[in-house]
Chain A
Amino acid sequence: MEFVLDAVDQRIIQATQAGLPLVPEPYAAVAEKVGIPAEVVMQRLRAMQASGAIRRIGVVPNHYALGYKANGMTVWDVDDALVDALGERIGNLDFVSHCYRRPRHPPQWPYNLFAMVHGHDRKEVEQYAAHIGRILGLACHQHDILYSNRILKKTGLRIAP
């Protein structure tokens, strides 16, 4: 489903994508910045929530600061005929934060299923990966775990003004 943004939505996104103002009436502060009534800001935000354009409103924690120091991107080479059915099952695992089918780039990159796994240490991530491997079974031909060892940049969505 696609959501058509008008100029007011765009300005609201620009005014909130770096974060909500930390003042008692944050939507009024956004409204003042955008130059529209606070009621319109709230109405537009609710519409964007209803359409899925806003996934959620809340805190975005830093994994590392919470002790989730091992962030493993597990990648799997899974039979094309089975990848969607298996991907749904992997996505349902509670230690998986994102799960996608993506294109292979042979010969450098044979993997088509990506599942992001967060653990307190690498041993925990490896246990989770082993669990995924058991679910994939013979449909998976090879896999790897890519650990991140540094955040180089992390920002929210940016819409240029």
Chain B
Amino acid sequence: MHPHSVPPPIADYASAALLDDVDRRIINGLQGGFPVCTRPYARAARDLGLEEAELLARLRRLLDERVLTRFGPLFDASRFGGANVLAAMSIPRQDFERIAQFVNQQPEIAHNYRREHRLNMWFVGAAETPEKVEAAFRYIEDITGYPVFRFPKEQEYFVELMLRA
């Protein structure tokens, strides 16, 4: 697998964790509630005690440094008939990188984490329809030869986490 095609290991994020007070204010204050208006950055900046240009520059830097994975609307695919299914595979060490690269290439795969367990690859399939997610899982099974264990959510116990920076 090409070293640049996957995010770096966790240790590489250490330098990104050097956040100042303004960064923390942005991260803690802007996990939701970004306004929908003509100049939303100006309004959000005012609430945070910043200038519009500074907020824009900070967001750009936090995204570049991958302190933030994204900035924008967080869609709930299940609310518009979309499907979102957790799945896991058990991949031997020698095949792991190759299979991870293949799985990640599928546009329906939204997240993929390596976890310490016999089931060591955990990913989310997301698409407009359950059929498209299921087709992606079947395709992964057909090409890799390894089974995909499906863990569709049967019940959600709703929570809202705010991560403190």
Residues of A within 8 A of B (CB): 1-5, 9, 13, 16-20, 22-28, 38, 42, 45-46, 48-49, 51-69, 71, 73, 83-84, 87-88, 90-92, 94, 96-103, 105, 108-109, 114, 118, 144, 146-160
Contact = CB atoms under 8 A, between A and B. Distances in A.
B32 A57 contact: yes
Interface residues of B, number: 83
A73 B77 CA distance: 22
B86 interface: yes
Given A24-B39, A46-B36, A60-B74, A152 B121 contact: yes
23 contacts: A2-B80, A16-B72, A22-B56, A22-B71, A49-B36, A53-B80, A54-B74, A58-B71, A59-B26, A61-B69, A62-B67, A63-B163, A65-B66, A66-B163, A91-B157, A96-B159, A114-B151, A146-B115, A147-B116, A148-B113, A150-B10, A151-B111, A152-B103
A22 B112 CA distance: 27
Contacts of A157: 75, 77, 82, 110, 126
Interface of B: 6-7, 9-10, 13, 16-17, 26-27, 30-34, 36-42, 52, 56, 59-60, 62-63, 65-77, 79-82, 86, 90, 100, 103-104, 107-119, 121-123, 126-128, 149-159, 161, 163-165
A114 B122 CA distance: 13
A62 B30 CA distance: 14
Contact of A148 (B17, B108, B114, B161): B114
A61 B68 contact: yes
Given A73-B122, A150-B113, A61 B152 contact: no
